[in-house]
Structure 1
Amino acid sequence: MQRLLGGLVGTVRPKEERVHMPAPVTDLGTALITGVTAGLVTLIAALPAILGAIVLLVLGWIIAGIVGGLIARGLRAIKVDAMADRAGVTAFLRRAQVKADAAGVIAGVAKWYIRLIFVLMAANAVGLTAVSTVVNQVLGFIPNLIVAVFILAAFSWLASLARNVVSGVSMPNAKTLGMLAYGATFGFGVIAAATQIGVAAPLVEVLFAGIVLGLALAFGLAFGLGGRDEAAQMWRGLRGSVREVASSPAPTPMERHGDGRPFERSEASLRR
């Protein structure tokens, strides 16, 4: 009996006690105060950098305005606008709907380039990496864009010169050929400018093929419509010459007198 009771007592074991830890309870007011305090601490820590960025932006805008004004005055003093007029740059700007003159355009580009430099410095000061990356890419693109604009201006002048030279030649369809020369020259300028700013090579190849095809089509139409009468006259003359050669008798042996006049040899002289 004791053994039986001992076995029952040994088989029944007490359950392990579970300890329940109370979860920390935070009310809404405490959470708001904690968040606002953390935000203020972060703002106060970043306040010197923000103030420095604002100062950089203000200084950049002021310095860029002063430098841009000085550049515009200097360029106008050395008569850059007159040179731009002779080179065809002013006409190109007017076609591009740009109201400023050449000196104003150059000064404006320089002014905004300086401003972007200060924007980059301000972004680095506050740790805006994404803004710094974008501005840095824009600063690297602007010089290529300036070179591309100068290439377009130079080819615009060359195209105008080619059109004037070809149009002044005394030949049929001179004006049409002059326009073709202008389109070909300016088209090559567009291709060169696109290559300078890094446009994809396949797109440049398609553009070049389109320009060549357009010029060939325009030349064919100009010759077919404007030179139709000349081509018909040339064909009639060539056909008449062929008919004369085909219908003329066989030539007789010819000799010349002392003065160079030809005379026919008689059959008796030929027998001798």
Structure 2
Amino acid sequence: MVPIDMTLETLRTFLAAVAAFLPNVLLAIVIAIAGWLLAKAVRFTVVKGLRSINFHILTERARIDSFLQMGGTGADTTAVIGMLVYWLVIVAALILACNTLGLTYVTDLLSKIALFVPRVILAVVILAFGAYFALFIDGTVTLYGRNVGFDEAPVLGRLARYAVLLFVALIALDQLGIGGDIIRQSFLIILAGIVLALALAFGLGGRDWAAALLDRWWPQRKRNDRYGDD
């Protein structure tokens, strides 16, 4: 008789625990479904808003969309941002659902993901505007070089664009928390090496070209008038 009572008591305790836990499960399911619907609505709103301000044209001209397509994806940058926002809302909903169920470890893990996703979105936006600005710098430097009669203006424009792109990439990586001081120091070392190599090449192999360039930009008569004839 005693074993039967113990079994019934255990079953009664189990059913009471299930009855107390079941509302939390149902609430977590409702939160997850509501979060999924909200995520779809937010993604649609964000993508629609970005396209309304012609953000997709900016990323297309900055050649970021073509870079994504080279990676095998058919989505443009606007769609990628919309997808990131979608998953941000999904993760936020899962945090609420897991918190309702008392899953502390899962909640902490999802919270770290939720804090990282906005940084990814900001890094993508930085890359988009930075790449467009680099393209603008390329065109400006090239146009100015051609106007002053500089034959290597396109090369100088590309160098300026790549320098801006490298700087923007470093900002994006720093926003993501990748590399930190190591990447910044490596960038300074590479930049110093490039400047030194250009200076040596200019000094050793480009003296005649430099003299001709100085004569064209700063005629001998002006130099003589300023410093006097020897």
TM-score normalised by L of structure 2: 0.70
Q: Where in structure 2 are there 5+ consecutive unaligned residues?
A: 212-230
Q: Where in structure 1 are there 5+ consecutive unaligned residues?
A: 1-26, 236-272
Aligned length: 206
Report the Cα offset of residue 129 of structure 1: 0.5
Q: Paired residue for 1:69? A: 44
Give matches, 1:4-15, under 5 Å: none
Give CA-to-partner distance per residue, 1:123-156, whole Å, 9 cap, x none: 1010010111111122222222222222222221
Change (3 A) 1:167 1:41: same
Q: Paired residue for 2:22? A: 47
Q: Which amino acid aligns with 1:111?
A: Y
Report the Cα offset of residue 234 of structure 1: 6.4
What is the distance in 2 between the residues matched to 1:55 and 1:185?
48
RMSD of aligned residue pairs (Cα, Å): 3.6
Report the Cα offset of residue 217 of structure 1: 6.1
Change (3 A) 1:157 1:139: same
The question of 1:162 aligning with 2:137 is answered yes
Report the Cα offset of residue 118 of structure 1: 0.6
What is the distance in 2 between the residues matched to 1:93 and 1:73?
20
Report the Cα offset of residue 42 of structure 1: 3.7
Give CA-to-partner distance per residue, 1:190-244, whole Å, 9 cap, x none: 22222223345322333322441453366358748xx93x525768xxxxxxxxx
- Identity within the alignment, %: 29
The question of 1:181 aligning with 2:156 is answered no
Give matches, 1:70-109, under 5 Å: 70-91=45-66, 93-94=68-69, 98-109=73-84
Q: Which region of structure 1 is more displaced relative to structure 2, 29-38 or 131-140?
A: 29-38
Tell me: higher relative CO, structure 1 or 2? Use CA pairs within 8 A at least 6 residues apart: 2
Q: Which amino acid aligns with 1:107?
A: G
Report the Cα offset of residue 73 of structure 1: 3.3
Change (3 A) 1:39 1:173: farther
Decide whether the 8 Å contact of 1:180 with 1:219 is kept in 2: no
